[in-house]
Structure 1
Amino acid sequence: MPSSYTFADPRLAKLDGFKVEIDEAHERADIILGRPPYNVVAMPQRDQLRLTFETLDEDPRVRIIVLRGEGEHFSSGGNIGGFMEASPEHVSKLAWNIAAPARCAKPVIVANRGYCFGVGFELSLACDFRIASETTQYALPEQKLGQIPGSGGSARLQKMVGITRTKDIVMRSKRISAKQAYEWGIATECVPDAELEKATDTLVDELRTFSPLAQRTAKKLLNDTEDSTLAIAIELEGHCYSRLRQSEDFKEGVEAFNAKRPPRFVGR
């Protein structure tokens, strides 16, 4: 059964608007946004979320990280008043905090339902897998405030769906349904609302069957080569392949394949 996660870092002694649970049996940690009904993300919460991802990334008990929200909405976005109170220097660092799931070496799954707006959408875009309930609505509504997305939202979205669709979403503060997000390649899966938790559990269990080392390598390679030329991407892929060729996990994978048995990966 999942239990509350205990942090050694005093900066995480009292979590601001979220909680963390660990399920050691399934090598899983859940970060749960906890300000229902809309799970508004406060300014200090962004710093804590970054620290949380960094801590879980170093925890050997955790293979997979799941980000989700309490209630019917993932997050309606950030606390608007907090932007006026924060210094320009602090605001300029917001994208670094929200990019923590992408920097994390371990696979990160986000389970979306209901509103997924503003920083809620940007945080989701930084994750590796987005499982969307059919109730999910995605939006970057900052134009309505006389602003633009400031935590990587428009940049990540443009890489996924292109400039035309991104302009349509950002410049019109347009809401995108879960079905549309899936068809456009924003969401990994689109499932009935009642099946969101089951779909998340299934993906966690699937990812745990692979080599942790191969998973970390694939994630970093794909992130690092997103903006590179094809020639450089192929070159880096070859170097990563060669390094994994020397790993215990690759040896185990080959032996298990030949013996027609499930592999027992250890992450080395």
Structure 2
Amino acid sequence: MNTQQIEQFLSTEFDGFTVELNLEHERGDIILGRPPFNVIAMSQRDILRQVFEAFDAHSGIRVIVLRAQGEHFSSGGDIKGFLEASPEHVSKLAWNVAAPERCTKPVIVANRGYTFGVGFELSLACDFRIASETTRYALPEQNLGQIPGSGGSARLQKMIGITRTKHIVMRAKRISGQQGYDWGFVTECVPDADLESTVDAMVDELRRFSPLAQRTAKKLINDNEDASLKVAIEMEGHCYSRLRSSADFKEGVEAFHSKRPAVFRGE
């Protein structure tokens, strides 16, 4: 799709969430909109994936933000929908939830209040998790005789280790935003009143950098998650070498020596 087609798609009325484009600040927002608990329906997940992909393809967007209306991010999925969905449909859930991770652009999620189940899993697939002090994270599937099915336990274990993951998953424990920060899966934990301004500041911070260098760093770090140290260092060297010939690197060096802000173009 070209930019016009993408914007036409993004102007559609979506079920369970809304979309905002702020091209002046080069940002696209997805806002969960089924308050008070922003339950995420089964059918909603595939459309969310498509919106993430559209934002990623939009030439005017540098940063993607996922947030929610009201005092809770999301209490999780529509439980009844799991019983009604076909096994084939359910098998695609993890792919849809992984859409933020696959985006080449940085994705920030703003969490407050309940961030449970698929709401937590979506947040774990983002690059930066900004939590309000009111945030409560949980993977409560054990209460239903189930386990997380969209990457929740897998991503969490990579971030915080086996012992803490078992504590959260096997005991269905709720974890505060501050504890998430202390354990290392939350980027920043801020007072509730500062959540939006913190996200705004991070968007503007990320926009200062080279889009090419940002894309390269995100893919490199994600790909190296399962690599040995030797392979990871080798891949980092290859990516570094490629960026040395980029126009953005040339601009960055010239701007540094001229003591002026760099103007990156993603080339």
| CA distances 1:93-147 after superposition (whole Å, capped 9, x unpaired) | 1000000000000000000000000000000000000000000000000000000
1:267 corresponding residue in structure 2: 266
Any stretches of 5+ residues in structure 1 without a counterpart? none
Offset, 1:8: 3.8
Q: Which amino acid aligns with 2:163?
A: T
1:117 corresponding residue in structure 2: 116
2:184 corresponding residue in structure 1: 185
2:38 equivalent to 1:39: yes
SS at match of 1:62: coil
Alignment coverage as a number of residue pairs:
263
- For the aligned residue pairs, the C-alpha RMSD in angstroms reads 1.3
Offset, 1:14: 3.4
Q: Percent of counterpart pairs with the same letter?
A: 73
CA contact (8 A) 2:6 2:54 kept: no
Offset, 1:252: 0.1
Q: Which amino acid aligns with 1:257?
A: F
1:258 corresponding residue in structure 2: 257
Any stretches of 5+ residues in structure 2 without a counterpart? none
| CA distances 1:77-99 after superposition (whole Å, capped 9, x unpaired) | 00001101100111011000000
| CA distances 1:26-55 after superposition (whole Å, capped 9, x unpaired) | 000100000000000000100001000111
Sort the Cα spacing of 1:251 and 1:181 in 2 relative to 1 into closer, same or farther, 3 A: same
SS at match of 2:226: coil
**Bigger proportion of residues as helix:** 2
2:145 corresponding residue in structure 1: 146
Q: Which amino acid aligns with 2:108?
A: I
Offset, 1:244: 0.5
1:231 corresponding residue in structure 2: 230
| CA distances 1:50-73 after superposition (whole Å, capped 9, x unpaired) | 000111100001000000000000
2:135 corresponding residue in structure 1: 136
Offset, 1:218: 0.1
CA contact (8 A) 2:40 2:76 kept: yes
Q: Which amino acid aligns with 2:155?
A: R
SS at match of 2:15: coil
Q: C-alpha distance in 2, partners of 1:6/1:228?
A: 35
SS at match of 2:115: strand
CA contact (8 A) 2:17 2:34 kept: yes
Q: C-alpha distance in 2, partners of 1:13/1:205?
A: 27
Structure 1 outlier segments of 4+, above 2 Å? 5-10
1:19 corresponding residue in structure 2: 18
Alignment of 1:8-87 (within 5 A): 8-9=8-9, 13-87=12-86
SS at match of 1:132: strand
